[in-house]
Structure 1
Amino acid sequence: MPHAAFVFDAYGTLFDVHAAVRRHAEALGSEGPLLSEIWRAKQLEYSWTRALMGAYRDFWSLTEEALDHAFERVPSADRSLRSQLLEAYWKLDCYAEVPAVLGALKNSGAKIAILSNGSPAMLDSAVKNAALDTIIDDVFSVDALQTFKTAQSVYELVTTQYRLYAEAVSFQSSNRWDIAGATRFGFRTVWINRGGMPDEYPDLKPQLILPDLSALTVT
Protein backbone atom coordinates (compact mmCIF):
# COMPACT_ATOMS: atom_id res chain seq x y z
CA MET A 1 0.00 0.00 0.00
CA PRO A 2 1.18 3.55 -0.54
CA HIS A 3 2.32 5.26 2.65
CA ALA A 4 1.23 8.78 3.48
CA ALA A 5 4.23 9.39 5.75
CA PHE A 6 7.78 8.12 6.06
CA VAL A 7 9.04 8.61 9.60
CA PHE A 8 12.65 8.09 10.62
CA ASP A 9 14.48 7.57 13.84
CA ALA A 10 17.36 10.06 14.01
CA TYR A 11 20.42 8.67 15.79
CA GLY A 12 21.95 5.68 14.05
CA THR A 13 19.37 5.82 11.27
CA LEU A 14 19.89 9.24 9.68
CA PHE A 15 22.87 10.43 11.73
CA ASP A 16 26.03 8.49 12.52
CA VAL A 17 26.32 8.36 16.31
CA HIS A 18 30.00 7.43 16.12
CA ALA A 19 30.96 10.43 13.99
CA ALA A 20 31.79 12.57 17.04
CA VAL A 21 34.50 10.19 18.27
CA ARG A 22 35.78 9.59 14.73
CA ARG A 23 36.48 13.32 14.33
CA HIS A 24 38.90 13.05 17.23
CA ALA A 25 40.19 9.57 16.44
CA GLU A 26 43.86 10.56 16.36
CA ALA A 27 43.73 12.25 19.77
CA LEU A 28 41.74 9.41 21.35
CA GLY A 29 43.92 6.65 19.93
CA SER A 30 43.08 2.97 19.70
CA GLU A 31 40.54 3.14 22.55
CA GLY A 32 38.33 5.59 20.64
CA PRO A 33 35.94 2.97 19.19
CA LEU A 34 35.45 1.39 22.63
CA LEU A 35 34.71 4.80 24.14
CA SER A 36 32.15 5.45 21.43
CA GLU A 37 30.45 2.08 21.88
CA ILE A 38 30.11 2.55 25.63
CA TRP A 39 28.89 6.13 25.17
CA ARG A 40 26.11 5.00 22.85
CA ALA A 41 25.15 1.95 24.91
CA LYS A 42 24.84 3.95 28.13
CA GLN A 43 22.96 6.78 26.41
CA LEU A 44 20.27 4.27 25.42
CA GLU A 45 20.33 2.38 28.72
CA TYR A 46 19.76 5.59 30.65
CA SER A 47 16.75 6.46 28.49
CA TRP A 48 15.11 3.06 29.05
CA THR A 49 15.79 3.12 32.79
CA ARG A 50 14.39 6.60 33.24
CA ALA A 51 11.33 5.82 31.16
CA LEU A 52 10.58 2.81 33.35
CA MET A 53 11.09 4.83 36.54
CA GLY A 54 9.08 7.79 35.30
CA ALA A 55 12.09 10.00 36.11
CA TYR A 56 12.60 11.91 32.87
CA ARG A 57 15.76 13.79 32.01
CA ASP A 58 16.21 15.18 28.52
CA PHE A 59 18.34 13.29 26.05
CA TRP A 60 21.13 15.83 26.06
CA SER A 61 21.61 15.38 29.81
CA LEU A 62 21.74 11.62 29.29
CA THR A 63 24.25 12.06 26.47
CA GLU A 64 26.55 14.04 28.77
CA GLU A 65 26.20 11.53 31.60
CA ALA A 66 26.83 8.61 29.26
CA LEU A 67 30.05 10.18 28.00
CA ASP A 68 31.25 10.75 31.56
CA HIS A 69 30.62 7.07 32.31
CA ALA A 70 32.47 6.06 29.14
CA PHE A 71 35.51 8.06 30.24
CA GLU A 72 35.42 6.25 33.59
CA ARG A 73 35.37 2.92 31.77
CA VAL A 74 38.16 3.92 29.37
CA PRO A 75 40.60 5.83 31.61
CA SER A 76 43.27 5.96 28.90
CA ALA A 77 41.05 8.24 26.78
CA ASP A 78 41.93 11.91 27.11
CA ARG A 79 39.17 13.44 29.25
CA SER A 80 40.17 16.93 28.14
CA LEU A 81 38.39 16.13 24.86
CA ARG A 82 35.01 15.97 26.62
CA SER A 83 33.77 19.39 25.52
CA GLN A 84 34.94 18.82 21.93
CA LEU A 85 33.18 15.46 21.72
CA LEU A 86 29.97 16.94 23.06
CA GLU A 87 30.18 19.83 20.63
CA ALA A 88 30.68 17.38 17.76
CA TYR A 89 27.54 15.50 18.80
CA TRP A 90 25.47 18.56 17.88
CA LYS A 91 26.74 18.27 14.30
CA LEU A 92 26.82 14.56 13.56
CA ASP A 93 27.35 13.48 9.96
CA CYS A 94 24.34 12.06 8.21
CA TYR A 95 24.83 8.84 6.24
CA ALA A 96 25.73 9.41 2.60
CA GLU A 97 22.46 8.14 1.09
CA VAL A 98 20.15 10.10 3.39
CA PRO A 99 19.61 13.38 1.45
CA ALA A 100 18.82 11.67 -1.85
CA VAL A 101 16.50 9.07 -0.34
CA LEU A 102 14.54 11.55 1.75
CA GLY A 103 14.33 13.92 -1.21
CA ALA A 104 12.94 11.21 -3.48
CA LEU A 105 10.35 10.18 -0.91
CA LYS A 106 9.28 13.78 -0.42
CA ASN A 107 8.92 14.22 -4.18
CA SER A 108 6.51 11.28 -4.18
CA GLY A 109 4.14 13.38 -2.10
CA ALA A 110 4.64 11.67 1.26
CA LYS A 111 5.23 13.47 4.54
CA ILE A 112 8.82 13.15 5.79
CA ALA A 113 9.40 13.29 9.54
CA ILE A 114 11.76 12.39 12.36
CA LEU A 115 10.57 10.70 15.56
CA SER A 116 13.39 10.66 18.08
CA ASN A 117 14.45 10.44 21.70
CA GLY A 118 16.60 13.50 21.01
CA SER A 119 15.84 16.85 22.58
CA PRO A 120 14.37 19.51 20.25
CA ALA A 121 17.56 21.58 20.27
CA MET A 122 19.75 18.57 19.46
CA LEU A 123 17.52 17.51 16.57
CA ASP A 124 17.25 21.03 15.18
CA SER A 125 21.04 21.34 15.14
CA ALA A 126 21.57 17.92 13.50
CA VAL A 127 18.94 18.53 10.82
CA LYS A 128 20.28 21.97 9.90
CA ASN A 129 23.91 20.82 9.93
CA ALA A 130 23.03 18.08 7.43
CA ALA A 131 21.00 20.54 5.30
CA LEU A 132 17.90 18.38 5.71
CA ASP A 133 15.69 21.20 6.98
CA THR A 134 14.27 21.83 3.49
CA ILE A 135 13.31 18.15 3.13
CA ILE A 136 11.95 17.17 6.54
CA ASP A 137 8.41 18.35 7.23
CA ASP A 138 8.24 17.68 10.97
CA VAL A 139 10.48 16.66 13.84
CA PHE A 140 8.78 14.85 16.72
CA SER A 141 10.70 14.70 19.98
CA VAL A 142 9.81 12.58 23.00
CA ASP A 143 10.44 15.71 25.05
CA ALA A 144 6.79 16.63 24.42
CA LEU A 145 5.77 13.60 26.50
CA GLN A 146 8.66 13.49 29.00
CA THR A 147 9.36 9.82 28.33
CA PHE A 148 11.29 7.72 25.80
CA LYS A 149 10.74 5.03 23.20
CA THR A 150 9.41 2.37 23.23
CA ALA A 151 6.47 3.89 25.12
CA GLN A 152 3.55 3.49 22.74
CA SER A 153 2.46 7.09 23.34
CA VAL A 154 5.64 8.22 21.56
CA TYR A 155 4.63 6.62 18.26
CA GLU A 156 1.16 8.05 18.70
CA LEU A 157 2.63 11.55 18.34
CA VAL A 158 2.81 10.92 14.59
CA THR A 159 -0.65 9.50 14.04
CA THR A 160 -2.24 12.23 16.15
CA GLN A 161 -0.46 15.05 14.33
CA TYR A 162 -1.07 13.63 10.84
CA ARG A 163 -4.51 12.15 11.57
CA LEU A 164 -3.47 8.86 10.02
CA TYR A 165 -4.04 5.24 10.87
CA ALA A 166 -0.82 3.59 12.02
CA GLU A 167 -0.64 1.33 8.96
CA ALA A 168 -0.40 4.41 6.70
CA VAL A 169 2.97 5.25 8.25
CA SER A 170 6.28 3.65 7.23
CA PHE A 171 8.72 3.83 10.13
CA GLN A 172 12.47 3.33 9.66
CA SER A 173 15.00 2.76 12.43
CA SER A 174 18.43 1.20 12.79
CA ASN A 175 17.54 0.19 16.36
CA ARG A 176 15.88 -3.23 16.52
CA TRP A 177 14.22 -2.44 19.87
CA ASP A 178 12.70 0.70 18.31
CA ILE A 179 11.40 -1.36 15.39
CA ALA A 180 9.81 -3.76 17.89
CA GLY A 181 8.05 -0.87 19.61
CA ALA A 182 6.84 0.64 16.35
CA THR A 183 5.65 -2.74 15.08
CA ARG A 184 3.70 -3.22 18.30
CA PHE A 185 2.06 0.17 17.70
CA GLY A 186 1.00 -0.84 14.20
CA PHE A 187 3.39 1.02 11.90
CA ARG A 188 4.78 -0.61 8.78
CA THR A 189 8.37 -1.02 9.94
CA VAL A 190 11.69 -1.15 8.12
CA TRP A 191 14.76 -2.15 10.09
CA ILE A 192 17.87 -0.42 8.73
CA ASN A 193 20.36 -3.03 9.88
CA ARG A 194 23.56 -1.08 9.22
CA GLY A 195 25.66 -3.32 11.45
CA GLY A 196 24.48 -6.67 10.08
CA MET A 197 23.19 -7.68 13.51
CA PRO A 198 21.17 -10.87 14.16
CA ASP A 199 17.44 -10.41 14.49
CA GLU A 200 15.67 -10.17 17.85
CA TYR A 201 12.08 -9.93 19.11
CA PRO A 202 10.74 -12.69 16.84
CA ASP A 203 7.13 -11.89 17.75
CA LEU A 204 7.54 -8.28 16.57
CA LYS A 205 9.12 -8.64 13.16
CA PRO A 206 9.77 -5.74 10.76
CA GLN A 207 8.07 -5.83 7.39
CA LEU A 208 11.42 -5.25 5.72
CA ILE A 209 15.13 -5.38 6.59
CA LEU A 210 17.59 -3.25 4.63
CA PRO A 211 21.36 -2.69 5.05
CA ASP A 212 20.88 1.06 4.57
CA LEU A 213 18.22 3.47 3.29
CA SER A 214 19.19 3.30 -0.39
CA ALA A 215 16.51 0.80 -1.44
CA LEU A 216 13.71 2.47 0.48
CA THR A 217 12.50 4.46 -2.53
CA VAL A 218 11.55 1.27 -4.38
CA THR A 219 9.88 -0.63 -1.53
Structure 2
Amino acid sequence: MALSRRRLLAIASLTVASSVANDSRGAGAPIKAIAFDGFPIFDPRPIFALAENLFPGRGAELSKVWRTKLFEYTWLRTMSGHYRDFLGVIDDALVFACRSLDIELTGVKRSALVEGYLGMTIWPDALPALSMLKDNGLRLAFLSNFSPAMLDANIRAAGLEGIFEFQLSTDAVRAYKPDPRAYQMGVDAFGLKREEVLFAAFAGWDASGAKLFGYPTFWVNRQKQPREQLDAVPDGEGLGMADLVHFLSS
Protein backbone atom coordinates (compact mmCIF):
# COMPACT_ATOMS: atom_id res chain seq x y z
CA MET A 1 0.00 0.00 0.00
CA ALA A 2 1.59 3.27 -1.11
CA LEU A 3 1.66 6.16 1.34
CA SER A 4 1.42 9.78 0.23
CA ARG A 5 4.47 12.03 0.32
CA ARG A 6 2.88 13.97 3.18
CA ARG A 7 2.49 10.78 5.18
CA LEU A 8 6.06 9.73 4.51
CA LEU A 9 7.27 13.10 5.75
CA ALA A 10 5.17 12.65 8.86
CA ILE A 11 6.87 9.34 9.51
CA ALA A 12 10.19 11.12 9.67
CA SER A 13 8.84 13.40 12.39
CA LEU A 14 8.12 10.55 14.78
CA THR A 15 10.46 10.41 17.74
CA VAL A 16 11.87 6.95 17.18
CA ALA A 17 14.64 6.10 14.74
CA SER A 18 13.82 3.82 11.85
CA SER A 19 15.75 0.56 11.96
CA VAL A 20 13.94 -2.05 9.90
CA ALA A 21 16.11 -5.14 10.10
CA ASN A 22 14.41 -7.52 7.73
CA ASP A 23 11.74 -7.60 5.02
CA SER A 24 11.04 -10.97 3.48
CA ARG A 25 7.39 -10.29 2.66
CA GLY A 26 8.18 -9.86 -1.01
CA ALA A 27 5.27 -9.85 -3.43
CA GLY A 28 2.83 -11.75 -1.22
CA ALA A 29 -0.83 -10.97 -0.66
CA PRO A 30 -1.55 -7.32 0.10
CA ILE A 31 -1.88 -6.49 3.78
CA LYS A 32 -5.44 -5.41 4.52
CA ALA A 33 -5.46 -5.46 8.32
CA ILE A 34 -3.14 -5.37 11.32
CA ALA A 35 -3.65 -7.26 14.57
CA PHE A 36 -1.68 -5.75 17.46
CA ASP A 37 -0.45 -7.25 20.66
CA GLY A 38 -1.16 -4.85 23.51
CA PHE A 39 2.39 -3.83 24.34
CA PRO A 40 3.48 -2.24 21.05
CA ILE A 41 0.82 0.34 21.95
CA PHE A 42 0.72 0.43 25.77
CA ASP A 43 3.86 1.24 27.75
CA PRO A 44 4.34 -0.89 30.91
CA ARG A 45 7.47 0.93 32.10
CA PRO A 46 5.65 3.20 34.60
CA ILE A 47 4.45 0.06 36.42
CA PHE A 48 8.03 -1.12 36.86
CA ALA A 49 9.06 2.37 37.94
CA LEU A 50 6.32 2.18 40.55
CA ALA A 51 7.76 -1.12 41.75
CA GLU A 52 11.08 0.63 42.38
CA ASN A 53 9.33 3.44 44.22
CA LEU A 54 7.46 0.98 46.42
CA PHE A 55 10.50 -1.27 46.99
CA PRO A 56 13.60 0.95 46.72
CA GLY A 57 16.60 -0.96 45.43
CA ARG A 58 14.50 -4.06 44.72
CA GLY A 59 12.16 -2.88 41.99
CA ALA A 60 14.22 -3.94 38.98
CA GLU A 61 14.80 -7.40 40.40
CA LEU A 62 11.15 -7.76 41.31
CA SER A 63 9.97 -6.60 37.90
CA LYS A 64 12.19 -9.10 36.10
CA VAL A 65 10.92 -12.07 38.11
CA TRP A 66 7.34 -10.78 37.86
CA ARG A 67 7.44 -10.48 34.05
CA THR A 68 9.05 -13.87 33.60
CA LYS A 69 6.61 -15.67 35.88
CA LEU A 70 3.66 -13.85 34.32
CA PHE A 71 4.19 -15.38 30.91
CA GLU A 72 5.22 -18.74 32.31
CA TYR A 73 1.83 -18.85 34.01
CA THR A 74 -0.04 -18.00 30.79
CA TRP A 75 1.65 -20.88 29.01
CA LEU A 76 1.19 -23.33 31.89
CA ARG A 77 -2.47 -22.42 32.28
CA THR A 78 -3.07 -22.87 28.55
CA MET A 79 -1.30 -26.23 28.42
CA SER A 80 -3.04 -27.52 31.54
CA GLY A 81 -6.47 -26.24 30.56
CA HIS A 82 -6.83 -24.06 33.66
CA TYR A 83 -7.42 -20.62 32.20
CA ARG A 84 -7.45 -17.49 34.37
CA ASP A 85 -7.88 -13.99 32.99
CA PHE A 86 -4.74 -11.95 32.42
CA LEU A 87 -5.22 -9.53 35.30
CA GLY A 88 -5.56 -12.51 37.63
CA VAL A 89 -2.38 -14.03 36.22
CA ILE A 90 -0.60 -10.70 36.70
CA ASP A 91 -1.63 -10.77 40.35
CA ASP A 92 -0.57 -14.40 40.83
CA ALA A 93 2.82 -13.74 39.27
CA LEU A 94 3.38 -10.70 41.48
CA VAL A 95 2.65 -12.68 44.63
CA PHE A 96 5.03 -15.43 43.53
CA ALA A 97 7.77 -12.93 42.66
CA CYS A 98 7.56 -11.21 46.04
CA ARG A 99 7.60 -14.50 47.91
CA SER A 100 10.54 -15.81 45.90
CA LEU A 101 12.53 -12.64 46.66
CA ASP A 102 11.39 -12.41 50.30
CA ILE A 103 9.73 -9.05 49.67
CA GLU A 104 6.78 -8.13 51.89
CA LEU A 105 3.79 -7.31 49.72
CA THR A 106 1.03 -5.39 51.49
CA GLY A 107 -2.49 -5.26 50.13
CA VAL A 108 -2.11 -1.60 49.22
CA LYS A 109 1.10 -2.14 47.26
CA ARG A 110 -0.31 -5.23 45.58
CA SER A 111 -3.39 -3.35 44.40
CA ALA A 112 -1.34 -0.39 43.18
CA LEU A 113 0.92 -2.56 41.04
CA VAL A 114 -1.78 -4.78 39.58
CA GLU A 115 -4.14 -1.89 38.89
CA GLY A 116 -1.35 -0.15 37.02
CA TYR A 117 -2.23 -2.49 34.15
CA LEU A 118 -5.67 -0.86 33.91
CA GLY A 119 -4.41 2.61 33.06
CA MET A 120 -1.22 2.37 31.07
CA THR A 121 0.09 5.27 29.02
CA ILE A 122 0.79 4.74 25.33
CA TRP A 123 4.20 4.90 23.71
CA PRO A 124 4.80 8.37 22.18
CA ASP A 125 5.02 6.99 18.65
CA ALA A 126 1.84 4.91 18.83
CA LEU A 127 -0.96 7.36 18.07
CA PRO A 128 0.72 9.08 15.07
CA ALA A 129 1.46 5.69 13.50
CA LEU A 130 -2.00 4.30 14.19
CA SER A 131 -3.57 7.39 12.65
CA MET A 132 -1.45 7.02 9.50
CA LEU A 133 -2.27 3.35 9.16
CA LYS A 134 -6.00 3.88 9.65
CA ASP A 135 -6.08 6.89 7.31
CA ASN A 136 -4.51 4.73 4.62
CA GLY A 137 -7.30 2.19 4.76
CA LEU A 138 -5.86 -0.52 6.98
CA ARG A 139 -8.22 -2.24 9.38
CA LEU A 140 -6.87 -2.38 12.93
CA ALA A 141 -7.52 -4.65 15.89
CA PHE A 142 -6.03 -5.69 19.17
CA LEU A 143 -5.27 -9.39 19.45
CA SER A 144 -4.07 -9.56 23.00
CA ASN A 145 -3.74 -11.58 26.17
CA PHE A 146 -5.36 -8.60 27.92
CA SER A 147 -8.78 -9.33 29.37
CA PRO A 148 -11.72 -7.38 27.88
CA ALA A 149 -11.78 -5.19 31.00
CA MET A 150 -8.07 -4.41 30.56
CA LEU A 151 -8.51 -3.54 26.90
CA ASP A 152 -11.52 -1.33 27.60
CA ALA A 153 -9.84 0.48 30.49
CA ASN A 154 -6.57 1.12 28.69
CA ILE A 155 -8.22 2.24 25.46
CA ARG A 156 -10.36 4.72 27.40
CA ALA A 157 -7.42 5.97 29.45
CA ALA A 158 -5.35 6.51 26.29
CA GLY A 159 -8.14 8.11 24.27
CA LEU A 160 -7.98 5.45 21.57
CA GLU A 161 -11.73 4.97 21.13
CA GLY A 162 -12.67 4.46 17.48
CA ILE A 163 -9.19 3.44 16.34
CA PHE A 164 -9.60 -0.33 16.56
CA GLU A 165 -12.28 -2.27 14.74
CA PHE A 166 -11.97 -5.23 17.10
CA GLN A 167 -10.69 -5.77 20.63
CA LEU A 168 -9.84 -9.46 20.60
CA SER A 169 -9.02 -10.97 23.98
CA THR A 170 -7.78 -14.49 24.60
CA ASP A 171 -10.63 -14.74 27.10
CA ALA A 172 -12.85 -15.57 24.12
CA VAL A 173 -11.00 -18.84 23.44
CA ARG A 174 -9.55 -19.38 26.94
CA ALA A 175 -6.09 -19.97 25.52
CA TYR A 176 -3.14 -17.60 25.62
CA LYS A 177 -0.77 -16.87 22.78
CA PRO A 178 1.10 -18.58 21.19
CA ASP A 179 -1.72 -21.14 21.09
CA PRO A 180 -3.10 -21.20 17.52
CA ARG A 181 -6.63 -20.73 18.89
CA ALA A 182 -5.62 -17.25 20.03
CA TYR A 183 -4.18 -16.19 16.66
CA GLN A 184 -7.18 -17.64 14.81
CA MET A 185 -9.35 -14.92 16.34
CA GLY A 186 -7.85 -12.37 13.97
CA VAL A 187 -8.68 -14.39 10.86
CA ASP A 188 -12.23 -15.00 12.07
CA ALA A 189 -12.90 -11.40 13.10
CA PHE A 190 -11.56 -9.74 9.95
CA GLY A 191 -12.91 -12.41 7.60
CA LEU A 192 -9.60 -12.35 5.74
CA LYS A 193 -6.91 -14.84 4.81
CA ARG A 194 -3.99 -15.22 7.19
CA GLU A 195 -1.59 -13.73 4.68
CA GLU A 196 -3.73 -10.57 4.50
CA VAL A 197 -3.45 -9.86 8.25
CA LEU A 198 -0.18 -8.55 9.61
CA PHE A 199 0.51 -9.34 13.25
CA ALA A 200 2.46 -6.72 15.22
CA ALA A 201 4.23 -8.31 18.20
CA PHE A 202 6.08 -6.88 21.19
CA ALA A 203 7.77 -10.05 22.45
CA GLY A 204 10.05 -12.23 20.35
CA TRP A 205 8.17 -15.38 21.30
CA ASP A 206 4.90 -13.78 20.16
CA ALA A 207 6.45 -12.79 16.83
CA SER A 208 7.59 -16.39 16.36
CA GLY A 209 4.21 -17.77 17.38
CA ALA A 210 2.34 -15.54 14.96
CA LYS A 211 4.73 -16.39 12.13
CA LEU A 212 4.37 -20.11 12.79
CA PHE A 213 0.60 -19.66 12.71
CA GLY A 214 0.90 -18.19 9.24
CA TYR A 215 0.62 -14.45 9.72
CA PRO A 216 3.02 -12.05 8.07
CA THR A 217 4.63 -10.62 11.17
CA PHE A 218 6.33 -7.43 12.25
CA TRP A 219 8.26 -7.38 15.52
CA VAL A 220 8.14 -4.03 17.35
CA ASN A 221 11.32 -4.85 19.22
CA ARG A 222 11.40 -1.92 21.63
CA GLN A 223 13.62 -3.81 24.08
CA LYS A 224 16.28 -4.62 21.46
CA GLN A 225 16.10 -8.34 22.22
CA PRO A 226 17.75 -11.07 20.12
CA ARG A 227 15.51 -13.21 17.95
CA GLU A 228 14.08 -16.37 19.39
CA GLN A 229 15.54 -19.59 17.97
CA LEU A 230 12.18 -21.07 16.99
CA ASP A 231 12.54 -21.53 13.21
CA ALA A 232 10.30 -18.53 12.55
CA VAL A 233 11.83 -15.22 11.44
CA PRO A 234 9.52 -12.17 11.45
CA ASP A 235 8.98 -10.51 8.09
CA GLY A 236 9.99 -7.16 9.51
CA GLU A 237 11.58 -5.81 12.66
CA GLY A 238 12.20 -2.39 14.14
CA LEU A 239 12.47 -0.39 17.33
CA GLY A 240 9.09 1.31 17.16
CA MET A 241 5.88 2.04 15.33
CA ALA A 242 7.52 4.30 12.76
CA ASP A 243 9.37 1.23 11.54
CA LEU A 244 6.08 -0.61 11.12
CA VAL A 245 4.69 2.21 8.97
CA HIS A 246 7.90 2.24 6.91
CA PHE A 247 7.72 -1.52 6.47
CA LEU A 248 4.22 -1.31 5.07
CA SER A 249 5.15 1.53 2.72
CA SER A 250 8.11 -0.31 1.19
Q: Normalising by structure 2, what TM-score?
A: 0.82
Q: How does 1:154-173 map to 2 (within 5 A)?
A: 154-173=182-201
Specify which of 205, 212, 215 is matched with residue 233 of structure 2.
205
Answer yes or no: is 1:69 the counterpart of 2:91: no
Specify which of 83, 98, 110 is matched with residue 56 of structure 1.
83
Structure 2 CA distance for aligned equivalents of residues 88 and 121 of structure 1: 13
The alpha carbon displacement at 1:92 in A equals 1.4
| RMSD across aligned positions (CA) | 1.6
Structure 2 CA distance for aligned equivalents of residues 52 and 26 of structure 1: 35
Structure 1 CA distance for aligned equivalents of residues 230 and 110 of structure 2: 39
Specify which of 125, 138, 158 is matched with residue 153 of structure 2.
125
Q: Cα deviation per residue 1:140-173 (whole Å; 9 max; x = unaligned)?
A: 0010111111111211111112111101011111
Tell me the amino acid that sits aligned with residue 91 of structure 1: G
Structure 1: give runs of 5+ residues left out of the alignment. Answer: none
**Count of aligned positions:** 218
Structure 2 CA distance for aligned equivalents of residues 64 and 17 of structure 1: 15
The alpha carbon displacement at 1:17 in A equals 2.5
Kindly indicate whether the alpha-carbon contact (under 8 Å) linking 2:195 and 2:216 is maintained by their aligned counterparts in 1: yes
The alpha carbon displacement at 1:204 in A equals 0.7
Kindly indicate whether the alpha-carbon contact (under 8 Å) linking 1:31 and 1:77 is maintained by their aligned counterparts in 2: no
Determine which structure has more spread, i.e. the larger CA radius of gyration: 2
Specify which of 51, 60, 74 is matched with residue 33 of structure 1.
60
Specify which of 177, 198, 201 is matched with residue 149 of structure 1.
177
The alpha carbon displacement at 1:20 in A equals 1.5
Which residue of the partner structure matches residue 90 of structure 1?
118
Tell me the amino acid that sits aligned with residue 82 of structure 2: A
Which residue of the partner structure matches residue 217 of structure 1?
245
Structure 1 CA distance for aligned equivalents of residues 53 and 230 of structure 2: 40
Answer yes or no: is 1:22 the counterpart of 2:27: no
Q: Give 3-state SS (helix, strand or coil) of 1:42's partner.
A: helix
Q: Give 3-state SS (helix, strand or coil) of 1:23's partner.
A: helix
Higher RCO, Cα 8 Å, sep 6+: 2
Q: Normalising by structure 1, what TM-score?
A: 0.93
Q: Give 3-state SS (helix, strand or coil) of 1:139's partner.
A: strand
Kindly indicate whether the alpha-carbon contact (under 8 Å) linking 2:83 and 2:174 is maintained by their aligned counterparts in 1: yes
Change over 3 Å in CA distance of 1:148–1:76 after alignment to 2: closer
Q: Give 3-state SS (helix, strand or coil) of 2:168's partner.
A: strand
Which has the higher mean CA deviation after the structures are superposed, 149-158 or 23-32?
23-32
Answer yes or no: is 1:179 the counterpart of 2:207: yes
Structure 2: give runs of 5+ residues left out of the alignment. Answer: 1-28
Kindly indicate whether the alpha-carbon contact (under 8 Å) linking 2:42 and 2:123 is maintained by their aligned counterparts in 1: yes
Kindly indicate whether the alpha-carbon contact (under 8 Å) linking 1:18 and 1:36 is maintained by their aligned counterparts in 2: no
Q: Cα deviation per residue 1:166-205 (whole Å; 9 max; x = unaligned)?
A: 0101111111111111111111101111111111135211
Answer yes or no: is 1:43 the counterpart of 2:86: no
